[in-house]
Amino acid sequence: MLRTSLLSEDFTLPVLTQTAITKCRQIGGLDDRYIPPLIWGKSGHIQTALYGKMGRVRSPHPYGHRKFITMSDGATSTFDLFEPLAEHCVGDDITMVICPGIANHSEKQYIRTFVDYAQKNGYRCAVLNHLGALPNIELTSPRMFTYGCTWEFGAMVNYIKKTYPQTQLVVVGFSLGGNIVCKYLGETQANQEKVLCCVSVCQGYSALRAQETFMQWDQCRRFYNFLMADNMKKIILSHRQALFGDHVKKPQSLEDTDLSRLYTATSLMQIDDNVMRKFHGYSSLKEYYEEESCMRYLHRIYVPLMLVNAADDPLVHESLLTIPKSLSEKRENVMFVLPLHGGHLGFFEGSVLFPEPLTWMDKLVVEYANAICQWERNKSQCSDTEQVEADLE
């Protein structure tokens, strides 16, 4: 179906089939190179810092409806639903189900920018709000989002399938969300029903292998680790009554002393070991990372899968990129995209100094989805034609 591809040069997008190439170019620009801004765009740190601090520039404000789902354990999951603003290029009803990065939600600027662009290209968008990430939504159970828990994402997908039985799905995950969506698809074959394709952007694939690199000062990863841990602490502590209150029926392994350790934690690994793994009863950090990482599920994904990373991403060590590289060499449905620049969820474009509102990443995901939709439409038309010819004979 898809040609395997690894790109370590400044990037020309890989191909699907010769027919798809033509269709993709008719859609527009799927083989465009990523050209970073001249002065600062080749710095992965600046790209990452701009994403982390600003998200995007001049971000739009798409209008959506917030949906609430009560989970079996009493947790209240939320997602935002955005209807398409134009007809899709193949005329079908297609929904993008989107899982944001760590502690992110639909109100983040990079998500708003992507959703707005997808809407204008004819996609309905459903964006998961990670459990505990929205400051105005209280936790209703002693649990919040974790590295690989797919329960809330699965509930959102099931809602979309039930509410829009005619729709087909494009699955998109950013950073931690990429781990969640790939794990979700690989957990059971049924989760891939009605899924046209999946795109994962800037994930690390294996938390177990990443934990050692995240404690290294190379590429300032230890500093990024500290910043993300500090943000996670603030989110957890904002829900301290729901998670640690006296009236709360906490997991048996979660103790009051864990709250004290949380205050002094300086890394995500310490937070995961003292708090996050205990939400799901894992006996050790090693077990938690092994079970919650998508690496052990990737080979079970059979739909078209595009894995996108940047070679200068300061959060994802180069050793982790052997995972998607090896997978793409073995599986025809997998495409690995690796431009030299882009940082972590940056991929800003712009001629010299000021970045454009829309990033190369936004355009890449939508154009890849368009190409897959065209490919599926052409395949369906060919099958119909063959059936008619067979009936005439």
| Residues 115-158 pLDDT 10s | 999 999 999 999 999 999 999 999 999 999 999 999 999 999 99
Which SS3 state, helix, strand or coil, does residue 274 take?
Answer: helix
Per-residue model confidence (pLDDT) at position 258: 79
Q: Pick the catalytic residue: 80, 272, 312, 313?
A: 313
Confidence of residue 353 (pLDDT cuts 50, 70, 90): confident
List 5, 106, 141, 175, catalytic entry? 175
Residue 29 has pLDDT above 50, yes or no: no
The reply to whether 313 belongs to the active site is yes
CA distance 36 to 310: 12
The mean pLDDT of 368-374, rounded to a whole number, is 95
Assess whether 175 carries a catalytic annotation.
yes
Residue 33: pLDDT band by 50, 70, 90 thresholds?
confident
Q: With cut-offs at 50, 70 and 90, classify the pLDDT of residue 382.
A: low
- 3-state SS class at 348: coil
Q: How far apart are CA 209 and CA 184, in angstroms?
A: 20
Q: Could you report the per-residue pLDDT of 299-345, keeping only the tens digit for each?
A: 999 999 999 999 999 999 999 999 999 999 999 999 999 999 999 99
Q: What is the mean pLDDT of residues 33-61?
A: 90
User: Dihedrals φ, ψ of 307, to 5°?
Assistant: -110, 120
Q: How many CB atoms lie within 10 A of CB 192?
A: 18
For 230, the token pair is: 């500090």
Helix, strand or coil for residue 93? coil
Residue 224 has pLDDT above 60, yes or no: yes
Phi-psi region of 89 (alpha: psi -120 to 50; beta: other; left: phi over 0): alpha
Quick check: 370 and 304 in contact, CB under 8 A? no
Q: Provide Rg for the chain, Cα atoms.
A: 21
Distance from C-alpha of 363 to C-alpha of 350, rounded to nearest angstrom? 14
H-only helix segments in the chain = 18-27, 44-54, 109-120, 151-163, 176-187, 207-213, 221-238, 240-244, 256-264, 268-274, 285-292, 322-330, 360-392
> Rounded to whole angstroms, how far apart are CA atoms 18 and 25?
11
CB count, 10 Å around CB of 54? 13
1: pLDDT confidence band, cut at 50, 70 and 90? very low
Q: Which of 130, 239, 317, 344 is catalytic?
A: 344
